[in-house]
Amino acid sequence: MRNIPNFLASVLITACTTMTLPATSASAAVLRHKVSAALVCPQPPREQRAKVIVQFNPVRAASLDWLIGSLGGVVTRRLNALNMRALELPQSAVAALSVHRAVKFISPDLPIASTGHVETTTGTADARVQTTQSVPLLGGVSLSTTTVYDGSGIGIAMVDSGIDANHAAFRDQLGLTRVAINRDFTNENRTDDVYGHGTHVASIAAGNNQVANGAYTGIAPNAKLINLRVLNSQGLGATSNLLAALDWILTNHDVYNIRVVNMSIGATAVDSYLDDPVCEAVRQVTGAGIVVVAAAGNNGKDVNGQKIYGQIHSPGIEPSAITVGAANSFGTDTRGDDTVTTYSSRGPTRSFTTDGNGLRKYDNVLKPDLVAPGNKIVGAAAAGNYLLAAHPELEANAGANDADRMMYLSGSSMSAPIAAGAAALLLQVNPNLTPSLIKAILMFTAQPLPGSNTFEQGAGEINIEGALRLARLIRSDLSASTLLGAPLLTSAAPTRETTISGQTFAWSSGIVCNHALAVSDELITRYQAVYEQGLILGDGVLETPDGQSIDTSRMTGGVSLEVSAVTSDGGTIGEGMPFLNLSFLLGSGMLPDGIAVGDGIMVGDGIMVGDGIMVGDSTLGGTAGDDTACMR
């Protein structure tokens, strides 16, 4: 454990256990392949029963309920759309269940927890209203049409602690609530927001201009909200809650036109995204044409204030998701002083698979994908919520009544809904945009922040003005039959720069692709096959243990790969001081500043509620095999 900070070393040393390995090496290999490392530990279990998530291979999960019962298990949730089950069963039965050929992977039902003047600084206000001139009429008179991009008609599912649907921020122009439906997955049988996190998050994505004279308008202020409550009154939940919400989305998304899902929540990320049940669910949701946005987490530094890497949380580790870190705008509209916050979780992802020999293969996915303002954001305060009651200093003094009260919160939880609202605007512009194309647009138009490296900011800070300007030029007739290399735009490519509050900056002009950074104007001028629904941007890169190259069957030949992650100089992707050769991501090792990416060390998201105040950070702390991370 050389070069590992004391904090990380102590966590590794105190790792504990939940399940005894079988005696034979063959059965041990099966466990390593099909059972989460958080369940497979070298000492006997401390408790008799385990709460787990079971993913099944292509077979009707209901047909295996008899097997679960025969092992003494009880099905606690049937996730039919996802082909999964949440179970409670004897610890000793986990091994027996894993050997069944229909079982794909078994994970612990881990706890989850939650991880604003945003309209101007993101460029949204500059691009919200667009006027198009028509052909001149007789007498030199011409007609013009005005379009307001406010998320109208788009459904955003907020998977969080609930929404206070009575808050003025969620009313439409007739004074009616825009919360289209409420569902509870916590078994508390309520959908309001006792905790206070979900209401704040929802208002950043879709709060209106009816509070404080519009000072805290959200990104998509006329979008519909779908309230899916997975965190309870203490701001805590379980993986099975989250899976149940995603299962519901897959079944009902057409009814409510759910095109975007926001998850400002996280769980410890131990298992590879290939095995993690939440990541699998996210892949299915994006495959259905729904954009999924996830918070990166708030663990960019340890208890001593040292910068650390590898702390991205699930579902932020999933390549198909748009993973968003937190930027600090210092309360100004101009972007010249913006930087990545010290607490925003850095990549690469350190979830892993274990082969038959017990060797770990780390995912090392480049995350986050981008950053958005997340420090001291003003958003809606749910009536009587816990966070504001416990921390009255968070009061924003924007309204005197419960219906228009506002509060400050900080964290990547606040950054994610900015991207979710942006996705809703892009879909209003062009409903045929796929999740991967929306992700590419947001990254290509992002602003690389000087002084921050790729593992901290991805492609850079979100630029909604540029994203909307680009989206308006993209063809609306794209489909699975569109040929690779076909024209992507209806006119000439836009200028690759944006001006916000008098400051002009260059776009990143590149995208993050799993372990690579792809650059080229062809990413926005020619159709890339990876924009097809069901594919992800990383599918366009071929990988070997020695390097990476463009897959010319999925991306055009003019697209190239950067060889290094850089500490940006504020220019496009690839410009700045080389930080780490990207070939590192195909293996594992130490980062060049001597701080280790801790093997499997993941700590709870927590909620940044103010300067130096972290709520919930110790709730989920630990590593694979630790008391708090292993299923209890």
What is the per-residue pLDDT across 123-137, written as a single tens digit (0 to 9) for each? 676 776 765 555 555
Neighbours of 2 (CB within 10 A): 7
Asked if residue 481 belongs to a domain, the reply is no
The dihedral through the CA atoms of 63, 64, 68, 74 has a sign that is: negative
Asked if residue 216 belongs to a domain, the reply is yes
CA angle (491, 287, 583) in 5-degree steps: 80
Based on the fold, state whether residues 423 and 283 are members of the same structural domain: yes
Domain extent, residue 437, equals: 114-131+146-474+598-610
Asked if residue 623 belongs to a domain, the reply is no
Cα–Cα distance, 531 to 522 (Å, whole number):
13
CA distances from 158 to 247, 405, 481 (A): 14, 20, 33
The radius of gyration computed from the CA coordinates of the chain, to the nearest angstrom, equals: 23
* pLDDT given at position 588: 56
Neighbours of 477 (CB within 10 A): 7
C-alpha dihedral, 187 to 189 to 192 to 195, nearest 10°: -40
Tokens of 579: 């930080």
| 477: three-class secondary structure by DSSP | coil
CA distances from 605 to 115, 322, 411 (A): 4, 17, 9
Tokens of 33: 């392949």
Based on the fold, state whether residues 206 and 254 are members of the same structural domain: yes
Asked if residue 488 belongs to a domain, the reply is no
Neighbours of 3 (CB within 10 A): 12
User: Cβ neighbours of residue 508 under 8 Å, at least 6 residues apart?
Assistant: 443, 444, 445, 446, 447, 448, 459, 460, 572, 573
* Bond prior to 58 in cis (omega within 30° of 0): no
Residues paired with 548 in a beta bridge: 543
Based on the fold, state whether residues 62 and 198 are members of the same structural domain: no
Based on the fold, state whether residues 155 and 218 are members of the same structural domain: yes
Asked if residue 533 belongs to a domain, the reply is no
Residues paired with 301 in a beta bridge: 307
Active site residues: 160, 197, 413
Cα–Cα distance, 194 to 236 (Å, whole number):
12
Tokens of 582: 């990207």
Backbone angles phi, psi at 428, to 5 degrees: -65, -40
- No. of H helices and E strands in the chain? 15, 32
Based on the fold, state whether residues 381 and 309 are members of the same structural domain: yes
pLDDT digits (tens, 9 = 90+) for 471-517: 999 999 999 899 999 999 999 999 999 998 888 999 999 999 999 99
The residue type of 329 is S
Burial of 195 (0-12, 13-18, 19+ CB in 10 A): buried
The pTM score is 0.86
Cα–Cα distance, 58 to 56 (Å, whole number):
6
In 3D space, the residue among 48, 36, 10 whose CA is nearest the CA of residue 630 turns out to be: 36
Sheet holding 103-108, edge to edge: 74-79, 84-90, 49-56, 103-108
The dihedral through the CA atoms of 373, 376, 380, 384 has a sign that is: positive
Based on the fold, state whether residues 85 and 126 are members of the same structural domain: no
Based on the fold, state whether residues 81 and 214 are members of the same structural domain: no
Cα–Cα distance, 122 to 463 (Å, whole number):
5
Based on the fold, state whether residues 448 and 374 are members of the same structural domain: yes
Cα–Cα distance, 313 to 298 (Å, whole number):
9
CA distances from 14 to 18, 41, 622 (A): 14, 13, 9
436 within 8 A of 221, measured Cβ to Cβ: no
The residue type of 250 is L
CA distances from 142 to 3, 130, 132 (A): 70, 16, 11
* pLDDT given at position 143: 59
Tokens of 187: 């078994």
94 within 8 A of 50, measured Cβ to Cβ: yes
Asked if residue 219 belongs to a domain, the reply is yes
Asked if residue 517 belongs to a domain, the reply is no
Cα–Cα distance, 192 to 214 (Å, whole number):
24
Cα–Cα distance, 437 to 414 (Å, whole number):
23
User: Cβ neighbours of residue 328 under 8 Å, at least 6 residues apart?
Assistant: 338, 339, 340, 341, 373, 374, 375
Cα–Cα distance, 8 to 17 (Å, whole number):
18
Cα–Cα distance, 197 to 168 (Å, whole number):
16
User: Cβ neighbours of residue 207 under 8 Å, at least 6 residues apart?
Assistant: 169, 170, 216, 217, 218, 221, 379, 380
| 54: three-class secondary structure by DSSP | strand
Based on the fold, state whether residues 220 and 105 are members of the same structural domain: no
CA distances from 189 to 28, 184, 232, 247, 482 (A): 41, 6, 10, 18, 47
Assign residue 76 the CATH number of its domain.
3.30.70.80
Distance separating the N- and C-terminal Cα atoms of the chain: 27
Domain count, the chain: 2
Tokens of 333: 């509209």
Neighbours of 176 (CB within 10 A): 9
In 3D space, the residue among 244, 220, 233 whose CA is nearest the CA of residue 192 turns out to be: 233
Mean pLDDT for all residues in the chain:
83
Based on the fold, state whether residues 164 and 221 are members of the same structural domain: yes
Asked if residue 208 belongs to a domain, the reply is yes
CA angle (72, 51, 65) in 5-degree steps: 45
CA distances from 541 to 536, 546, 612 (A): 10, 13, 41
Stretches where the chain sits below pLDDT 70 are 1-32, 40-47, 113-121, 123, 125, 128, 130-145, 587-632
* pLDDT given at position 31: 56
Cα–Cα distance, 387 to 385 (Å, whole number):
6
The DSSP call for residue 229 is E
Neighbours of 142 (CB within 10 A): 10
Based on the fold, state whether residues 334 and 312 are members of the same structural domain: yes
Which residue stretches of 122-276 are H helix?
Answer: 124-127, 197-206, 239-256
Assign residue 175 the CATH number of its domain.
3.40.50.200
Query: HEC states along 551-603?
Result: CCCCCCCCCEEECEEEEECCCCCCCEEEEEEHHHHHCCCECCCCCECCCCECC
Based on the fold, state whether residues 232 and 166 are members of the same structural domain: yes
